Amino acid sequence: MSEIIVVTSGKGGVGKTTTTANIGAGLAALGHKVVLVDADIGLRNLDVVLGLENRIVYDITDVTEGHCRLRQALIKDKRYEGLFLLPAAQTKDKTAVNPEQMKKLCGELAAEFEYVIIDCPAGIEQGFRNAIAGAQKAIVVTTPEVAAVRDADRVIGLLEAAELRNPALIINRIRPKMVRHGDMMGIEDIIDILAVDLLGVVPEDELVVISTNRGETVVSDERSRSGQAYRNIVRRIKGEAVPMMNLDDSGFLGRLRRIIGLK
């Protein structure tokens, strides 16, 4: 039984690609066979985030146009045994692929991998329609900003119209301290509007920037809180019931826990 999951958001820059990379790496670290599909044709990023840019020979359009076999375009990750990437084309645009081709491609990938995770481009045009065409489940990423939540709401509506019901929500880059002071939307505020199931909350973390720029994933970092958040998300995707982690570490106990390395 394989799962085909699309990671989408509507708004750009909220962390779709980072989330895709970390979920993929997290699942692979637990021994699963995972393929990440970069559907952002023309603005590919997933290869860079994974540090695999220099290994690309064929891309997704070469596969759909029949210039190569699917196997030839898949790039094996350098750290995780079961992790593969199907890169996007950089020199073409979203019209280079159509939804039917994506559906067929996802079906072929699902025959070989346990998890097919699709990194959706920003926006709601053809790139979005391509990315969701073959998916069975959807993850919507948002940040605690009014504009991002608005776009997430729009995307959830479009996903429902495309029969992708009950998408799971990831709230990215939350700053518990700002939420506490009332300067940032809280988890409840976002859930109140979007009314979907919460898959996880990832706190703002400099380590994400550092690891992303190095072409690494933070999910493998035992000491980072965002890494812990991604590990929890991965376990929830696998069907485990994992309680939401306490983001509020301002109190004495929280600081103490941080110092002794318990999260």
**Binding footprint of another protein on the chain (CB under 8 A):** 150-151, 153-154, 156-158, 160, 192-193, 195
Beta strand 137-142 with 168-174 is: parallel
Residue with Cβ nearer another protein (112 or 160): 160
CA–CA separation, 34 and 79 (whole Å): 13
Residue 99 main-chain phi, psi, to 5 deg: -55, -35
CA–CA separation, 230 and 15 (whole Å): 12
Residue with Cβ nearer another protein (111 or 161): 161
Least distance in angstroms from the C-beta of 195 to another protein: 6
Least distance in angstroms from the C-beta of 46 to another protein: 27
Is the distance from CB of 110 to CB of 4 less than 8 angstroms?
Answer: yes
Least distance in angstroms from the C-beta of 102 to another protein: 23
CA–CA separation, 133 and 110 (whole Å): 14
Residue with Cβ nearer another protein (11 or 225): 11
CA–CA separation, 56 and 38 (whole Å): 12
Residue with Cβ nearer another protein (153 or 216): 153
Least distance in angstroms from the C-beta of 170 to another protein: 18
Residue with Cβ nearer another protein (27 or 171): 171
Least distance in angstroms from the C-beta of 252 to another protein: 32
Q: Rounded to 5 degrees, what angle do the CA atoms 142, 202, 194 make?
A: 35
